[in-house]
Structure formats: C-alpha cells, structure tokens
Structure 1
C-alpha cells in the first residue's frame, strides 16, 4: 500500500512540475479573485468570486517531490520561479492524517483518488455530497451521483460534503437553529459555470445558515461544503500567509507577477 501511495504522489508531483513549467500557456490573469465582506444572519463572511473565463483556477496537493504542500506559502514559493503567484487560496476538501484526500481528487488531469459513493461518519458522509469540477473555462459543483452520470471533463476535481445547495434546494438534513457551529468554508457555482464563489465565515456558523447564504443571498443553484474548524483563506494584499494546521487539498487562483 505504501508503495502505491508513494507512486501516486510522485506521479502527481511530476504533473505539478510540468504544469508549472508550461503555465505560461494557461495565460494566468494579472490579478486575483475579487473578494468582499458580507453579513448574513448576524454573521460576517468573506466572499471571493472567480471568473473562470478570465482567471486560472487550480487545485494543489503534492509538490514535485511528492510531499503535501500543506501551507499556502509553499505553493506560492513553488510558483514564484515561473513568474507566478497565488492570488487567492483556501482549503478545498477533507483529508486523512497524511493529508491524502478523503474523496475524489484530480489534479491536471491525473486522478489521485476515485469517487466515493458510500456514506459513513462525519460531514463527508452526510449525503448527498458532491464534487467541485474545474474544466476549461468553467467550474461546476455537482452532486456525486449526478457527477458519475454526467462524467464531466475535469482538469481538476475535489470531492467533499455535504452539499450545501442542490439544484436550488437546501440540503434536506440541515436544521435551522442548530448549535453545531464552526468556522466553515465552501464554494458555489453559477448555472453557466462561468463564476465560482468561495465563502468562509469569520465566526462560527451552522450548516443551515451557511447553506442559506448560498441559496438566498448569492442565489447559486449548487454549493458544496469544503470543511470547518481548520478553514482558512488567503487573499493577496490582505496580509501575509498565516500558518495553521497543515492542509490537504488547496484551491487557488494563479496570477502573473507584475
């Protein structure tokens, strides 16, 4: 098992190195995502909106040596020699102690983890869960069974759970007024796939309130929960890289260094 895991990590590390080396062909934007602060149900949130037709959005997990990046700063350092940098980044899905993804994970077309369809404990098993798929010029949040049926072409993909909003409806198991509150983060996408909106709460919130932010305020048809408690966001120009618990999958925009 260890040999198989190391082979996968090393192969993905090679993919990352190759992707960085040819990243000029991807035409990264000169600036990052547009971010703003909003209030919802008495709680403050930070929202970052990415236009997939104009910005380069990627997932990151292992470096070119097959080791987990873990921190935003390490990704930024890996991009810098190519004249690139992170514009915005956040944790992007649940992971095991070794930071391997719990669910489906694809980076630059290389599958690291298959789609998981079974339930189980924890938030990932609070079905339905879903997949965040980054394709060419678009990104989509898709419920897992629908994802398997549609088989979309994903350059990057990460599976997490639960879904926050499914085809305009709130996840059926969310409870209004629940006392299960954490700092939470997630992503929602527009129906045309052109925009992805990343959100993180600045104070502890429950699933119901977080879901209604996407359904009622942002009015996005589909949204996916990434994680809670360990949630972090980096925005260029809004302070330096904060250190915290090492992360697994990370999503971020890549931009040119002026």
Structure 2
C-alpha cells in the first residue's frame, strides 16, 4: 500500500531522522550538480561568445538573404521571363495551326526567336530556374518533335518537370513518340507505359494506353497489348481511343 508523508511531518525516531538527513544530502548533491553544470555551460558560453554570435549572424543573414532574393530578384525574374516568352508562345500557337514549310518556319521562330524577341531556347538560357524556363523546355521539346529533331526533343522534354496531370503525361508520352520515330520501340513502350500511369484521366490515360498497346503489338507482346486495350474498354469506354480497341484487340488475339 502506498504511503506518503503529511505536511509538517517530523521524524519521530533516530532511523527516520537519519533517512531524512540522507534525503536532504542527496537533494543537495543533485542541486549542487545542476549548479555546477549550469556554471560550466555559462563559462562555455562566455568563452565562445564570439563564435556563437558569428553562427547566429550567418543564420540571420541567410534567412534575410533568402527572403530578399525571393522578393526582389526571383519574383521579378519570373515575371520578366513570362513577358519575354509571350512572342515565342504566339509563334508556337501559329505553328500548330499551319502546315508544311510554314509550320516548320514558325516552330523555328518559336525556338530561336524573331522580331527582336526571345525564343524558347533563349528563355532557357537566360532565365534558368524560373517557371517560364521550365515551360520553355516543354514547348521546345514539342517544337523539336514536330520538326523531326527527335534527339533534341528528348533532351528538352526530359528537362521539363511538372505535377500537372495533363502536361506531365504529355511530356513523358512525347519522349515515347520521339523514341518511336528513332526506331527504338522498346524505349518508346516504356515511356508510353509511364505516361499512362502518371495520372488517371479520360484524356491522357487512354491516349497512352492505346499507344502502348500498338507498340506492344509491334514488339509481338500481345498479352501486354491485350491488357492495355482491355483497360481502355473497361475504364474509358467513352473515350475516342475506345472506338479503336476492337481492331487492335483482334490483332492481339490472333
């Protein structure tokens, strides 16, 4: 049974007095030890005060520098890069609507600039680290892809980074398209599979499942092709790609 000492309790015999004295002695030793430790720490602080202030100063300068860089350098740079890229994006939009030699010319202007304005490659070179430069990698990749420069397209699209469920898969699938044009279907299939699994939506997922299926058929991987075609049929029956499933499914089963 637990016991406790009442307030005002006094030891009634020698044994209790000895125990009490021992407890007081132990308590005193603990406090003396704490005082000694505190004293050593204060001495250490006093002796190393200069270094402590230097470390704290560096930390404060780093924080202030980061805030200053973000507010006064990075943010204006982001805006400037976005403004500079407007003309290149205009060329890109026009190229998508054009055909033949005119289309190629507009893609080249989008890449290299025109009328005294930057192209996507200039944005990448002059505004690295900005959102605009990242987007320029995406646009440059597809400009190269559509003008038959497939290795350059791969390089640019690999440098693009995005968590967007549309743009991310499109960039990855674009790398697959480039590898397919370079007659490297194994690599193309890997990128189509990755693009199909990056997000779940009715636009990019069935698109790259179908491309993966067609490429798998070319590689005589009929089981894999059937798997992808069945996914389109089951999960995306209303997609445009679903209309093509029966034809390719027949090839996979033959």
Asked if TM exceeds 0.5, the reply is: no
Greater relative contact order (CA < 8 Å, ≥ 6 in sequence): 1
Interval of TM-score (by shorter of Structure 1 and Structure 2): under 0.3
Structure of larger gyration radius: 2
Normalised by the length of structure 2, the TM-score is 0.27
Normalised by the length of structure 1, the TM-score is 0.27
Q: Which structure carries more strand by proportion?
A: 1
Q: Which structure carries more helix by proportion?
A: 2
